[in-house]
Amino acid sequence: MNQSNEPNTHPLAAIQSMVRACIQCGTCTGSCPNADEMDLTPRHMWRRVIMGHLDRIMTSRTFILCSDCYTCTLRCPRGLPLTDAMEMLKGIAFARQEKKHRHPRHFYEQFLATVRRHGRIRELEFMSRYFTTVRNPMVPLRFAPMGLKLIQKGKVELGFGHATDTPLAPLFDKVAAMDQAAPESAAEEDQA
Amino acid sequence: MNYFYYPGCSLTGSAREYDLATRAVLAAAGATLTEIDDWTCCGASAAAPISHLLSLSLSARNLALAEGMASDGDVLVPCSACYLNLKKAHTVLKTDADGRARINAALSAVNLTARGRGRVRHLLDVLATDLGSGGLAPLMARSLSGLSVAPYYGCQCLRPFVEFDNPERPVSMAPLIEATGADVFAWEMGARCCGAALVNTQPEAGLKRVAAILRAAKGADLIVTVCPMCQINLDAWQAKASRIAGEDLSISVLYLPQLLGLAMGLSAEALGLNLNLVILEGVREKIER
Ligand code: SF4
Ligand code: SF4
């Protein structure tokens, strides 16, 4: 099941060391506002991570349903950085281009692509690029009523006559090169 | 009191009223805001899963710009998600030499260096701690008595950094609301997550979070928020949440500085009240006198 049993090269290695001290008490699950929609509860997820069940974890919706509320991180009696761990699972799923998680991945990627081009988010450009990449007509329909309400109120940054435009491509490229050179270091910072 | 002001992308778009009200209230309270020149997006919740270093560097870019503008001063952030991102970067810059070196290696691509000077402060912290109800009460021009206000804090201004309030049972808004003459609605949902970006990426789950909060606020005249994400979830998505829940969950939702500004006698235009999506008639009559 695992691509490799070598602890240092296992894709879950960094997250394993973050949650290894878990005593399976279930406080994280009991605290999580989204646990009822998750296919693996947070407690269950940490167990799977320690066991290295990468395939099962990657098909789970659990980390996609994490809304970064930090309640589990605050309450875990072992003081484990659980929200960061959920975030890293999201990152692994996006990097592996897991099919199941392509909508949220496109959402995040198009958001960042807009920031890379302009420095700030431009809602209209971001959303239209997101709709184009997901190629599912139901997705824009879901947003249409609220989008219209916001546009009527003049609350959508349309990007015309914009005072500032600060492309951040050099910063994005530099970070990508650094991540490439030391892919694990980002993960290790979190364990400190 | 001088602050470097980081509005963040929301406050120039869908949360313009939060920007207007924040500037108006702080000016009326005698605080000086200097907007960070050429600030850029903090990466929101999108950068960290893609690259931890990118998330830190996008935030640190803004801290570096503020440091370049003066030798010291706090960075004031009204958006809770931006606050958390900037605060994470600031903490790494201050406490982790390797992390600081990596961030600055990244920032060298845009000719900037960040040291982690000053502090990163949430707007609620500044209102509750620096100005305080004692400082604000004398500025109140009229009483909002008869209004029942549910304080909604959300997550990221309270957790994981515990700076100015109890992250489980926050209370910092209560004296500010009382200073306006309004009553504080007693409820347990003030620190409950609104679902954040789930309404966009996993709408069924996100709308359930929104519905639970709105349902708990029944009996209050309005909810006050301190984050554009919380505001848009409770305000703009409440019609849809009502439809899915099969009950009318409508309630007025204001930003905290809008409520304070109304009691301070600032005009509805100055506070951007026309930009809120939901202000019910009964409440409008009570607040726009
Ligand atoms: S709260 Fe902490 S120790 Fe308890 S199950 Fe969750 S991760 Fe494990
Ligand atoms: S941070 Fe994520 S996993 Fe933890 S309680 Fe909140 S939603 Fe659940």
Q: Output the domain CATH number for residue A63.
A: 1.10.1060.10
CB of A189 within 8 Å of a chain B CB? The answer is: yes
The answer to whether residue A168 is domain-embedded is yes
Q: For residue B53, which of B87, B81, B89, B83 has the smallest C-alpha distance?
A: B89
Going by their DSSP bridges, the two strands B148-151 and B2-5 should be labelled as unpaired
pLDDT given at position A151 = 67
Measured from the CB, is residue A78 less than 6 Å from ligand 1?
A: yes
Measured from the CB, is residue A183 less than 6 Å from ligand 1?
A: no
Q: Which residues of B touch A142 (CB under 8 A)?
A: 203
Q: Which numbered ligand comes closest to the C-alpha of A73?
A: 2
Residues A90, A106 share a domain: no
Residues A132, A115 share a domain: yes
Give me the number of domains chain A comprises: 2
Burial category of A136 from C-beta neighbours within 10 Å (exposed 0-12, middle 13-18, buried 19 and up): exposed
**Mean pLDDT for chain A?**
84
Boundary (domain end) residue, out of A75, A96, A117: A96
**Residue pLDDT, tens place only, B46-80:** 999 999 999 999 999 999 999 999 877 899 999 99
pLDDT given at position B150 = 98
**Residue pLDDT, tens place only, B154-190:** 999 999 999 999 999 999 999 999 999 999 999 999 9
The answer to whether residue A185 is domain-embedded is no
**Residue B2 bridge partners (DSSP):** B32
Please choose from A23, A51, A63 the residue to mutate so as to test ligand 1's pocket, defined by most ligand atoms within 8 A of CB: A23
Q: Which numbered ligand comes closest to the C-alpha of A89?
A: 2
What CATH number has the domain spanning B2-122? 1.20.1050.140
**Which helix (DSSP H) or strand (DSSP E) does residue B4 occupy?**
strand B2-5
Burial category of B154 from C-beta neighbours within 10 Å (exposed 0-12, middle 13-18, buried 19 and up): buried
Rounding to the nearest 10 degrees, give the CA dihedral for residues B127, B128, B132, B136.
40
Residues A110, A90 share a domain: no
Q: For residue B189, which of A75, A83, A33, A42 has the smallest C-alpha distance?
A: A33
Task: Give the global pTM.
Answer: 0.92
Boundary (domain end) residue, out of A96, A130, A149: A96
| Nearest-atom index, ligand 1, CA of A23 | 3
Listed in order, the ranges of chain B carrying CATH 1.20.1050.140 are: 2-122
The answer to whether residue A7 is domain-embedded is no
- CA of B21 vs chain A CAs: smallest distance (Å): 15
Residues A159, A113 share a domain: yes
Residues A65, A27 share a domain: yes
Residues A156, A82 share a domain: no
Q: Which domain holds residue A114?
A: 101-173
Residues A114, A84 share a domain: no
Q: Between A130 and A181, whose confidence is greater?
A: A181
* Residue among A157, A186, A192 minimizing CB distance to B96: A192
Going by their DSSP bridges, the two strands B148-151 and B183-184 should be labelled as parallel
Instruction: Please tell me the least confidently modeled range out of A57-71, B131-145, B272-286.
Output: B272-286
Residues A74, A111 share a domain: no
The answer to whether residue A183 is domain-embedded is no
Listed in order, the ranges of chain B carrying CATH 3.40.50.11810 are: 140-288
Residues A33, A18 share a domain: yes
Whole-angstrom Cα distance, residue A66 to residue B202?
Answer: 10
pLDDT given at position A107 = 86
% residues pLDDT > 70 (chain B):
100
Which single residue is written with the structure tokens 């015309």? A160
Residues A131, A65 share a domain: no
Is CATH 3.40.50.11810 what the domain over B140-288 is classified as, yes or no?
yes
pLDDT given at position B265 = 96
**Residue pLDDT, tens place only, B100-146:** 999 999 999 999 999 999 999 999 999 999 999 999 999 999 999 99
